[in-house]
Amino acid sequence: MAVFNIKKREIECKIVYYGPGRCGKTTNLEHVFKSYKKQVDGEMVSINTEGDRTLFFDFLPMELGKIKGCDVRVQLFTVPGQVQYTSTRKLVLRGVDGIVFVADSLADRRDKNMMSLKDLQQNLKEYGLNVFKIPLVLQYNKRDLTDDGMPIMSLEKMERDLNRQLKVPSFPGSAVKGDGVGKTLQECLKLTLQSLQKQFNWAQ
C-alpha cells in the first residue's frame, strides 16, 4: 500500500518483480541499477545463494521526481523463486502497488512459469488483492537464447499460457542484454501511478 504524505506532497510506492527461480528478476534490477543512475536513490541490496540467485529479496529505491506536483519514490523488490521460499514471497508482496511478472522463455520452464503465476494469484488473494485488478505487466525474458540454439517458447505460446485471461501488457526481453527491461518497468510504473492517482485523487 502506497504511502501518501499530503502535507509534503510525497508519494512512495512499491513494485515487486515476481516469477520462478532463475527467470531473471535480479538481472532486471541490476540493469535498472546500472542504467538509471540519476533516479536510483541509494544502493541495490542483494543476497545471493548457490541454488537460487535470491534467498530473501533484492531491494532498489528510485526517485522519479515530481509527477503532477508530487515527489514520487518507488521501491523495487524481487522475490525468491524457489518453492521452499513461499513464506518469503508472500511477505515481500505485503503492501505491493504494482507487479512485474518475469516469465522464463526456456521451453523446459513452462510449468514453472504457470505454477509461479498461480502462486502469485494465491498470495495476492491472501492479502485481499485481485490479480486481475492490480497493476501488472508480464515480461517474457531470455529471448536472446535463440542465439545459443537453446529451445525457447514462441511469444504466442507464452501469451496463451500466461496472458489469455489476464490480458495485461507484455514485453519480450533479455535482462542480460537489457532488452525490454526499461519498457517493462516504465509500463508498470505508468499503470501503478494511474492506479494510485485514482486511489488518492491527488490534484494537478
- Which pTM value belongs to this model? 0.89
- Grid cell for residue 154: 514462441
Closest CA to 44 of 163, 12, 31, 198: 31
**Bridge-partner residues for 66, per DSSP?**
71
Count the domains in the chain: 1
* Full pLDDT tens readout for the chain, 204 residues: 788 777 777 888 999 999 999 999 989 988 988 887 777 666 666 655 555 544 445 676 778 777 777 888 888 888 887 777 788 889 889 999 999 999 999 999 999 999 999 999 999 999 999 999 999 999 999 999 976 777 999 999 999 999 999 999 999 999 999 999 999 999 999 999 999 888 877 554
Q: Which residue has the cell 528478476?
A: 25
Q: What is the CATH number of the domain that holds 34?
A: 3.40.50.300
Rounded (10°) CA dihedral 185, 76, 37, 175: -50
- Grid cell for residue 54: 535470491
Residue 14, burial from CB neighbour count under 10 angstroms (0-12, 13-18, 19+): buried
Q: Which domain holds residue 54?
A: 3-200
pLDDT tens digit string along 48-58? 555 554 444 56
